[in-house]
Chains A and B, each alone.
Chain A
Amino acid sequence: MLRLWPAEAPTSPPVRRGGQIVASIRAEPRSFNRFVSRDQSTELLTMLTQGRLVRINRATFELEPWLAESWESSADGRTHTLHLRPGVTWSDGAPFTSADVLFSLQAVFDPKTQSVVADTLRIGGQPITAKAPDAQTVVLTYAVPSGPGVRLLDNLPILPKHKLEGALAAGAFASAWNNTTPPSEIVGTGPFVLREYQAGQRVVLDRNPRYWRRAPDGGVLPYLDRIVLAIVPEQNAELLRLQAGELDLTSSELRPEDYVPVRDAEEQGRLRMIELGVGTDADAFWFCLKPEAKARDPRFAFVQRPEFRQAISHAIDREAFVNTAYLGAAVPVWGPVTPGNVQWFWSDVPRYLHDDTKARAMLYDIGLEDRNQNGILDNPSLVEARFTVLTQRGISWYERGTAVLREELAKIGIAVDIVPLEFGALIQRLLACDYDAMYYRPVVTDLDPAGNLDFWLSSGSAHFWNIGQRTPATDWERRIDTLMLEMAASLDPERRRQQFNLVQQIFAENLPVLYFAAPRLYYAHSTRLRGVVPSVQRPPVLWNADSLSVTN
């Protein structure tokens, strides 16, 4: 049984100002320019050094005013007028104004930038247009109404016009603020400023003395003087260094196999272990359902039938799956939206309870039975229900999960061979639909389903069982397309919820992707850290860095 501390002790001592913490990151930042780099280290550095107009609170998922202190939206949901917080300055002392917002939007949508953020800010495929009536006001216009409204702006770090307009004008914005840029050139409105980057070793950030946000007692933020991001590529070494007190925080949540040693360290008073909650991503199992790629595969005739996939869902004992793949630290799930996504999880999503007899009967109904008595089902042409499942090499829970899958499916006569591949090879096979089935955990890019249209729409690049369809391959995909587009444009929260519940129902009935369990995420940090507000999203603790402090 895991013993867990609350996120913050109820009788916390007064917050101490000053001090430093050392957190680990697994890899070097590819750039200091978030517009052109999507790696986790760049994203974390941007979170620490740059501000946004609005912020989604990573613990409550509520929208909070940030560099914009208030806003009004028009009745048609297309126009949003944002009032910027007065008195905010960049870390070099230059005033922050609406010109910086306009510049950031111009830079992100400039074709030469090739921004990795731009797609998340297009509405109806069109960029956001903006104008600035004065230095403190920005008016944004969307091409079509958008359900998420200004929440989208959480994806847009606001960058300083006075530092980067030259690069944009010269068509060199994509290479500006790369990781060889002197730290003094990188200015921001975030709680920390870049002090030093030692390639291969660490990134050092000092507190931004001009940070605008104030503590509840009116004092300045951030509390910490310095954050050191140590580059520790190996996860076992990272944990050992955390236990040794060389690190205060790690880059990600604990692996299931780490719970016991961390609990022991906690009992010795060396670490504190917290539960972040149920993860928003679950491992997925799916077959390639692209008719063009599988036209000559005789198994496709039964794989493409929903009954086949429903039978598989019945065959998996999800409790056993939780206990084996995640060593008990997970919850059973029946769809892509996990209980960790509290706003959009639907508890009434259709479930397939564990029942091998029912699974066998369903397979029999679609013509699959063990005709040659070798323990594997065959269709009337004696084509066996045998599949190769690709997964990523070196991920312990994938190995355990696929082992459970193989055992459970063997009980109903479906044979599975597991092939772990390197990440690059796995992605190549995925994009080419060059596989029978795959077991992998695609990461949800946005908790609002309207931000994940690339997954839900049949034309989407993350519609991974049949990527980028010109026209929907099935009726149920066509229905989901219609519902999702309506849902994304709807301004009525209740209607959006109803439409998305219907989408989840259609998805669960047709099961293009099967989900078995979502992990419960645990995290460990040093006992001297205060102000921790855990989040199931990454970074689990540093998202709230301006409010962190240390006891000594």
Chain B
Amino acid sequence: MTAYFARRLLFALVLVLVVSSAALLLTRLAPGDVTAQLGPFAAPEEVASARARLDLDRSPLAQWVLWLARAGRFDFGDSFLYNRPVRELVARAAGNTAILAVVALAAATALGIPLGIVSGSRSGPAASLIRAASLVCVSMPPLLTSLLFVFVAATTRWLPAGGMTSVEALDGRWSTWLADVALHLPLPALALALPIAATFERLQAQSIAEALQQPFVTAAAARGVPPREIVVRHAWSVSLGPICGVYGIAIGTLLSGSFVVEFVAAWPGLGRLTYEALRARDIYLVAGCAATGGLMLAVGMMIGDLLLAAADPRVRERPAG
């Protein structure tokens, strides 16, 4: 198990390094740079000073080496766009995205798994309806889903149409803040969760349908085990493997989906920060966001692996190495 964790940790480090370095170099090599934010006709001295401050006057390789050396000391440089250290910006945004991602993943699991069990183990109009709804949700782009939810919230006024907290919570206590965040969460969380819930539903449905064809299910039925118990106690645990396997990927989907959802719903998270950094070519912020995203993805994949190991004894018993 120690070797397994060491391997996963090494993988996470390599992932973070590769992703952030690639982000830095690609941002540097793309046409234009962040000094365009000074306006088309900024004074040349002002542009030169900003470029020097961001090491854009060095070669891409020299800039990367310098950044890497500083990153080793947990100094990821300053954001030009926000005029603050990247570390500070990314830490705050990652925390907000983590809140959103955990709730979205929980919602996707709570919706997708039970519906998948129903649609995979039964036939009839209910199963068809679930399948159709899943197809719609999978094919809806996050931009459309989030705008739709903002529209519904704006029209019905059941929920706030954006943001993470409201002004009314400014002077409140910790509990008031928490309640306020909880009120703002459903909109972006559902926009993120729906496509993942639909994926879970489709996977769970196929997986449980396959499990129900297994000989041990036939044997259980022959022993007189009630059908509901066969599905829940026997077939479901066997069918969980593919779901656990895609948990890591689901976290990646959450991160990419959060680009748009956080932007539309004005949620101050990592996705929105990355999107704004990319649009402005804010080079160190792009690299910092990519490193954090890579780290979150690695952690997500590790959680997925652990869940898979918990669900499937064959994975647990596989020799390390």
Whether A424 is near chain B, meaning CB under 8 Å from some CB there, is: yes
B164 within 8 A of A: yes
Report how far A202 CA is from B147 CA in the complex, Å: 21
Instruction: Tell me the minimal C-beta distance from A125 to chain B in angstroms.
Output: 13
Q: A179-B83, A201-B165 are in contact. Are A237 and B160 (CB under 8 A)?
A: no
Q: Is the CB of B291 closer than 8 A to any CB of chain A?
A: no
Task: Check A30–B82 contact: CB distance below 8 A.
Answer: yes
Total A-B residue contacts, Cβ distance less than 8 Å = 138
> Do B36 and A427 touch (CB < 8 A)?
yes
Residue of A nearest to B260 (CB): A234
Question: Cβ of A198: which chain B residues have Cβ within 8 Å of it?
Answer: 165
Contact of B154 among A27, A233, A240, A454 (CB under 8 A): A240
Query: Chain A residues near B49 (CB, 8 Å)?
Result: 114
Please state if A231 and B266 are interface contacts (CB–CB under 8 Å).
yes
Choose one: A20, A422, A429, A464; the contact of B167 (CB below 8 Å): A20
- Whether the Cβ atoms of A442 and B41 lie closer than 8 Å is yes
- Complexed CA–CA distance, A475 and B249 (Å): 65
Q: Are B264 and A234 touching (Cβ within 8 A)?
A: yes
A431–B42 alpha-carbon span in the complex (Å): 10
B302 CB → nearest A CB, Å: 28
CB-nearest residue of chain B relative to A461?
B41
Chain B min CB distance to A90 (Å): 24
CA–CA, A196 and B38, complex, Å: 26
Q: Are B263 and A234 in contact (CB under 8 A)?
A: yes
Cβ contact within 8 Å between B36 and A199: no
Identify the closest chain A residue to B31 (Cβ): A425
Residue of A at shortest CB range from B152? A240
Max chain B C-beta neighbours (<10 A), residue from A114, A440, A464? A114
**Interface locus among B88-96, B133-141, B192-200, B230-238:** B88-96
Interface assignment of A297: CB less than 8 Å from any CB of chain B: no
Pick from A114, A119, A236, A244: contact of B153, CB under 8 Å = A244
Interface positions, chain A 225-251, Cβ under 8 Å from B, are: 228, 230-234, 236-237, 240-241, 243-246
Interface residue B157 (Cβ < 8 Å from any Cβ of A): yes
A240 touches B150 (CB 8 A): yes
User: CA–CA, A454 to B44, complex, Å?
Assistant: 13
A176 to chain B, nearest CB (A): 12
B163 at the interface (CB under 8 A from A): yes
A459 contacts chain B at the CB level, 8 A cutoff:
no
Contact present for B46 and A237 (CB under 8 Å): no
A179-B82, A231-B266, A233-B272 are known contacts. Are A199 and B31 too (CB-CB below 8 A)?
no
Give the docked Cα–Cα distance between A196 and B127 (Å). Answer: 51
Alpha-carbon distance A426/B161, docked complex (angstroms): 34
Q: Which residue of A lies closest to B153 (CB)?
A: A244
Q: How far in angstroms is the closest Cβ of chain B from A534? A: 24
- Determine the distance from Cα of A243 to Cα of B157 in the docked complex, in whole angstroms: 10
Q: Please state if B163 and A201 are interface contacts (CB–CB under 8 Å).
A: yes
Once bound together, how far apart are the Cα atoms of A423 and B276, in whole Å? 13
Q: How many residues of A contact B (CB 8 A)?
A: 54
Q: Is A310 an interface residue (CB 8 A)?
A: no
B167 touches A442 (CB 8 A): no
A30 vs B39: C-alpha distance when bound (angstroms): 14
Residue of B nearest to A20 (CB): B167
B178-233 interface (Cβ within 8 A of A) = none
A116 touches B82 (CB 8 A): no
CA distance A234 to B262 in the complex (A): 10
Nearest residue, chain B, Cβ from A242 = B154
Question: How far in angstroms is the closest Cβ of chain A from B188?
Answer: 11
Q: Tell me if A180 counts as interface (CB < 8 A to partner B).
A: yes
Judging by beta carbons under 8 Å apart, are B263 and A424 in contact? Answer: no
Identify A424's interface contact among B150, B151, B167, B280, CB under 8 A: B280
Knowing that A243-B154, A428-B31, A428-B33 touch, tell me 10 more A-B residue pairs with CB under 8 angstroms.
A196-B170, A198-B165, A201-B266, A231-B268, A237-B162, A237-B265, A244-B153, A246-B160, A427-B36, A462-B41
| Interface of A toward B, CB cutoff 8 Å | 20, 22, 27-28, 30-31, 37-39, 114, 116, 119, 178-180, 196, 198-202, 204, 228, 230-234, 236-237, 240-241, 243-246, 421-431, 440, 442-443, 454, 461-462, 464
Identify the B interface with A (CB < 8 A).
30-34, 36-46, 49, 81-84, 89, 92-93, 96, 147, 150-151, 153-155, 157, 160-165, 167, 170, 263-266, 268, 272-273, 276, 279-281
Could you pull out 23 A-B pairs where Cβ atoms are within 8 angstroms?
A: A39-B37, A179-B82, A199-B82, A199-B268, A200-B92, A200-B268, A200-B272, A201-B163, A230-B163, A232-B163, A234-B266, A237-B150, A237-B266, A241-B161, A244-B153, A244-B155, A244-B161, A423-B32, A423-B279, A424-B281, A429-B31, A464-B40, A464-B41
